[in-house]
Structure 1
Amino acid sequence: MNRRTMPVTTALAAAAALLLTGCSSDSGPDDKIEGAGQEESSSPPSPKASPTASAKVSDFDLPDDIKVEIESDETGNKAKDQILKEQAEGLMARQRLYVDLDPNSPYLTRYYADEAREFYVAEIKKSKSAGRTITGTYRYYDRKVEQNTDDRAIVTYCEDRSKAFAKDIKSGKTLKVEPSPEDFIRNTATLRKTEHNTWLVQSFRGETSAKECQ
């Protein structure tokens, strides 16, 4: 399978394509996973500071061959900016998950909950079994808090994976594919606030070949 022949599937099957076949997208058109309500677990190790991401989040000790660019998209609203900050940290944590391939990662329990967490646990196990990780550049932009209450928020954002690829762990070979409109994804994430005043991603969906992201 390659990106151009990827069918419209569930988010789980599409995400598997990223690391098992070298496809660069982890969500297909109208793919969706949903869930609600688990408690937050332990906090992750303290990452080192880095100016890599424009949103000024930490680099999570990512390898040199993985770059993450996140636009700040600050609003001037304290509550919304806090949501965007922690959502950006969650995006950084996602990359770290595919580096460590640890289903018990503290990065996973700190930034993801419910079906979003279950989704990544399943994908981490599949990727580890296949001996695949990630490499390249991941870019996130046009991030907006579309809705928010005291304990719930919906964030939409664009994602560019035209320079992101799967990599074979054993050989170190990058599984490159040609850039495609499918590399541009419009994502919608649902977050909830914990009793510790931190935000976790509960569910997300993504639409590939999103014209508004190109």
Structure 2
Amino acid sequence: MNRRYIRPVAVALTAAAALLLTACGGDEGGSDKDKIAGADEAGAKESASPAAGKSKAPDGVDRPQMTFPSDVDLVFADTHVSDPEQAAALGDAQNFVRAIRYGIVEQDVNDAAYKFYSEFESQAQVYAKDQIRQRVDKGLTISGKMRFSRTKVTPAENKESAVVSFCADSTKLYSKEVKTKKVHHTEPSLSDFYSWQVLMKPSKNAEGLWRAQKVQVKEKARECR
């Protein structure tokens, strides 16, 4: 059985520049399908579970708590970003990635965390839900360590969005059967390396919060090995 924590959906991914072009163009380059239906903060709050735990961050944003089991470790390499807006985009891009895995360990395709860190009905939110659903439908969760490195933040010229890119190494992250607790170990391969790009935009109604609008994941990323 494939031990990878997640298999990205077969999204038509072109060059990395495609996402950057979207980030720099304001409304240009986006279709009506890409726009949020129902406004920013309200849509996300309505879709979140009212029972989800909250934690007050230094920026004053009430964020969903994500507590992982002891056998799951997500490690993000330290990345110094001097600009506070870019730093906020980076932090919430990482939270979006964490939220996908949290939905998997919680076995909840409607978990509040990924909805909180993605724009309502955006491509990123649909992607996150699909990744969680793939595991839930197979009765699988995750176990082990995943490392993220080579992080870069590329702001748009208008500073209204930013693309956060990084590499992911899942050579030590495995599939785990929910019922039996059996962990499926396999040998490391190129399939364990991914290149991520996440288009982040600031929330209109919650200062300090950034949400994922689009995500692009390249499988078998040799540049990340």
TM-score where L is the length of structure 1 = 0.76
Q: Which structure has the larger Rg?
A: 2
Unaligned 5+ residue runs, structure 2? 20-32, 58-63
**Whole-angstrom CA distance in 1 between matches of 2:134 and 2:218:** 23
Which residue matches 1:110?
A: 116
Query: Is 1:199 the counterpart of 2:205 in the alignment?
Result: no
> 1:211 Cα deviation (Å)?
3.0
> 1:29 Cα deviation (Å)?
9.1
**Whole-angstrom CA distance in 2 between matches of 1:47 and 1:65:** 23
- AA partner of residue 189 (structure 2): S
Which residue matches 1:23?
A: 4
Which residue matches 1:71?
A: 77
SS, match of residue 178 in structure 1: coil
Q: Which piece of structure 1 moves more, 98-107 or 159-168? A: 98-107
**Whole-angstrom CA distance in 1 between matches of 2:221 and 2:10:** 9
> 1:188 Cα deviation (Å)?
1.1
Query: Is 1:157 the counterpart of 2:166 in the alignment?
Result: yes
Q: Is the 8 A contact 2:144 2:172 kept in 1?
A: yes
Root-mean-square deviation over aligned CA pairs: 2.8
Q: Describe the superposition over 1:63-84 as per-residue Cα deviations: whole angstroms up to 9, x where unpaired.
A: 0000010113122122211111
1:178-189 to 2 correspondences below 5 Å: 178-189=187-198
> 1:141 Cα deviation (Å)?
1.0
SS, match of residue 180 in structure 2: coil
Which residue matches 1:140?
A: 148
Q: Is the 8 A contact 1:70 1:141 kept in 2?
A: yes
1:58-137 to 2 correspondences below 5 Å: 60-113=66-119, 114-137=122-145
Which residue matches 1:16?
A: none
Sequence identity percentage: 20
SS, match of residue 32 in structure 1: coil
SS, match of residue 13 in structure 2: strand
**Whole-angstrom CA distance in 2 between matches of 1:84 and 1:124:** 22
SS, match of residue 27 in structure 1: coil
Unaligned 5+ residue runs, structure 1? 3-20, 50-57
**Whole-angstrom CA distance in 1 between matches of 2:211 and 2:102:** 16
**Whole-angstrom CA distance in 1 between matches of 2:8 and 2:134:** 16
- AA partner of residue 108 (structure 1): Y
TM-score where L is the length of structure 2 = 0.72
Q: Is the 8 A contact 2:6 2:131 kept in 1?
A: no
> 1:128 Cα deviation (Å)?
2.0
**Whole-angstrom CA distance in 1 between matches of 2:12 and 2:147:** 20
Q: Is the 8 A contact 2:140 2:177 kept in 1?
A: yes
**Whole-angstrom CA distance in 2 between matches of 1:66 and 1:96:** 10
